[in-house]
Amino acid sequence: MSRLLRGIGVSPGVACAPAFLVRLDFPEVPDRAVRAEDVELEVRRLREAVDFVVAHLQELGERVLQRAGPEESRIFDAQILMTQDRDFLAPVEALIRKNQLSAETAYEFKALELRNAWSGSARLRERLADLHAIQLRMLDRLMGGAGYELWSIPADEQVIVVAHELSPGLTVQLDREHVVGLISEEGTRTAHAAILAHSLGIPAVMGVSGAMASIPPGMMVLLDGQNGTIVLDPTRDELDEAKTQVSRRHRLELQLEAILDSPAVTPDGRRITLMGNVDLPEEIETAIRVGAEGVGLLRTEFLLTGRAVLPTETEQADYFRRVATAFHGRTVVIRSYDLGGDKFPVTFKAPNEANPFLGWRSIRVCLDEPEVFRPQVRAILRAAADRDIQLMLPLVTLVEEVEESRAIVLEEGESLRRAGIRAAESVPVGVMIETPAAVLIADRLAEVSDFFSIGTNDLTQYTLAVDRGNARLADRFTPHHPSIVRQLHQVLEVGRAAGIPVSVCGEMASDSLSAVLLLGLGYDRLSVSPPALPLIKWVVRTVPDPAAARAAESALAAASAAEVSETLRSVVGEYIDVRLLDPRSALPGRGRVASLPPGKAS
């Protein structure tokens, strides 16, 4: 058995502790019938269980509100809606009455039907963790369990939790003092549990295939939530190496802190604009603290996550104003709702598609659903009355999509003017370049766009035909593939010829080695994850322009991703200790060390 496991690092930090396996398997539910006179009692038991679970989920939501923030707490709104769903509960009650079944027997039967149906839907699989958690609580309550904690960790121990899948409800119950790391077989960086782990400061690795079978309970595990590695039963030398790596990261952090207020200028005097990507409101403060020069990508999907109703126009406008005001007049680029794939709100009646990432998503949803898109456009215009706000359209593949969106912006601007509502008449409208199709028609898109921003995550996914959320294909998902490098070069050349700004806002810009490649290609505007910004600024200020250009020239002529990566490591290595620059992480550890054995590491 290999002692090294790999997954996706979703929350940085280093931890070493015994493994605690959480097996949240569905209980054996007996096929139990009841007497006719007891049928209504079983229906009442079902409804009581629903009320009990809903109350507990509300309690969990309050706990998340205190520990992580209001946006994360809304995750439980979705679970509450799912628990109370009459479209599911009515058939359960009907089964109890018609077949005289016990509440748990009928519930388990219908729950199994739903789980099987959702498992076959790529769009719904991401919500299976929530569904799983709800049904576990319901069955536990109906079969006489306490209904609160389905597992418990000894109060006097520190452990690394290992599970098949981590639900948000399970994650938020974790005590940071006792749970020092998380490992799960399922999940990606965008999973709700990953977001919560990051917010709670718990190092985590997800997508670790076979973790439950490979890690015995109680085995000592060394976890690095930055690069996604797990070492089983680590040796003294491996622990010492972990300690050395943590020390290197800590020294680098001190260097990064020292340049927070310094400009992002290369050694040759070229000024680079470093903006921030903002997913959640609590990241605004971090982005400002590390010196982000505005927001190059303000994601808006969190406004829909787990909500029972769509956000109002005013609610959105207030949030957009809040962000723009926080950045004191600097540019804020708002991406319209990037719905679809695995990102549909609970209340949204979306189609079941065989290939959702190739289907109805992003700008296609916005243009087809004016009751979703137009209020967002109006909110942007209202917030832009006296602020530098821009609108960015995701996953554009047709010139007509940009033209139609621009027409909507003008129509809503005129509508607001007629209504006497203070708002901008229009805003700059740009395009996210995320597909080979957009690259190939970039010259035409430039004619109807005010700016380009390259989303390297989807561009890589669609170019290489590799699912970016598939842990098994993680090694194949790389923006260093020569096809990506050449497209980056091509789009920048088109933008320059058209006289419009071109930036990169995908994860590639947050990776230090890749940032050098982008600088060498000629990019002077990057939008990065806020925690990564100090490191990217340090790299900008350290690697000379001629060296970056040399790396880019070699990358354009390379035959493989490995060759591109090796070229970058070689060139950057002339100026920086590349051991500090993990190519799969946006951040060198953030100095967070959860638990390492005393005397061996710290």
What φ, ψ does residue 581 adopt, rounded to 5°? -115, 85
Strands 332-335 and 295-298: parallel
Q: Around 110, how many Cα atoms within 13 Å sit in the side-chain half-sphere? A: 22
Closest CA to 388 of 328, 437, 314: 328
* Contact (Cβ atoms closer than 8 angstroms) between residue 376 and residue 347: no
Q: Determine the residue type at 52.
A: F
CA distances 528 to 276, 387, 585, Å, are 5, 22, 12
Closest CA to 547 of 525, 514, 572, 523: 572
Tokens of 273: 């604009």
Closest CA to 600 of 235, 225, 219: 235
Could you tell me how many residues make up the chain?
602
Residue 19 per-residue DSSP state: E
Q: Determine the residue type at 349.
A: K
Q: In 499-596, which ranges are continuous DSSP H helix?
A: 512-521, 533-542, 545-557, 561-572
What whole-number distance in Å separates Cα of residue 133 and Cα of residue 167?
7
Closest CA to 170 of 307, 27, 23: 23
Burial 126-136 (b: 16+ CB within 10 A, else e): bbbbbbbbbbb
* Contact (Cβ atoms closer than 8 angstroms) between residue 200 and residue 176: yes
Could you tell me if residue 526 is left (phi over 0), alpha (psi between -120 and 50 degrees) or otherwise beta?
beta
* pLDDT value of residue 553: 98
How far is Cα of residue 519 from the mean position of the Cα atoms in its chain? 25
Q: Domains in the chain, please, with CATH?
A: 4-23+151-238 (3.50.30.10), 36-142 (1.10.274.10), 252-265+434-582 (3.20.20.60), 273-427 (3.20.20.60)
Q: Around 563, how many Cα atoms within 13 Å sit in the side-chain half-sphere? A: 13
From start to end of 269-424, where are the E strands? 273-278, 295-298, 332-335, 389-393
* pLDDT value of residue 344: 56
CA distances 152 to 331, 412, 436, Å, are 48, 54, 49
* Contact (Cβ atoms closer than 8 angstroms) between residue 534 and residue 260: yes
Catalytic annotation on 505?
yes
Catalytic annotation on 16?
no
* pLDDT value of residue 479: 93
Closest CA to 224 of 2, 12, 70: 12
Neighbours of 497 (CB within 10 A): 11
Choice among 192, 198, 480, 481 that is catalytic? 192
Which residues have CB under 8 Å from 40's CB, separation 6+? Answer: none
* pLDDT value of residue 533: 92
* Contact (Cβ atoms closer than 8 angstroms) between residue 43 and residue 142: no
What φ, ψ does residue 128 adopt, rounded to 5°? -65, -30
Closest CA to 337 of 391, 260, 267: 391
* Contact (Cβ atoms closer than 8 angstroms) between residue 496 and residue 502: yes
Tokens of 397: 């593949």
**Angle at 79 (CA atoms; ends 74, 83), nearest 5 degrees:** 145
Among all chains, which residue has been given the structure tokens 């209020």?
Answer: 375
Residue 351 per-residue DSSP state: -
What whole-number distance in Å separates Cα of residue 182 and Cα of residue 165?
10
What whole-number distance in Å separates Cα of residue 386 and Cα of residue 329?
9
Series of mean pLDDT values for 10-residue runs along the chain (602 residues): 83 88 79 92 95 90 73 75 91 94 93 80 63 86 66 75 79 76 82 70 88 94 89 92 80 85 96 92 87 94 72 93 94 91 57 69 89 95 96 96 97 97 97 97 98 95 81 77 98 98 92 95 95 92 97 97 95 86 41 45 34
What whole-number distance in Å separates Cα of residue 135 and Cα of residue 112?
10
Helix (H, G, I), strand (E, B) or coil at 150: coil
Residue 583 per-residue DSSP state: T
How far is Cα of residue 535 from the mean position of the Cα atoms in its chain? 20
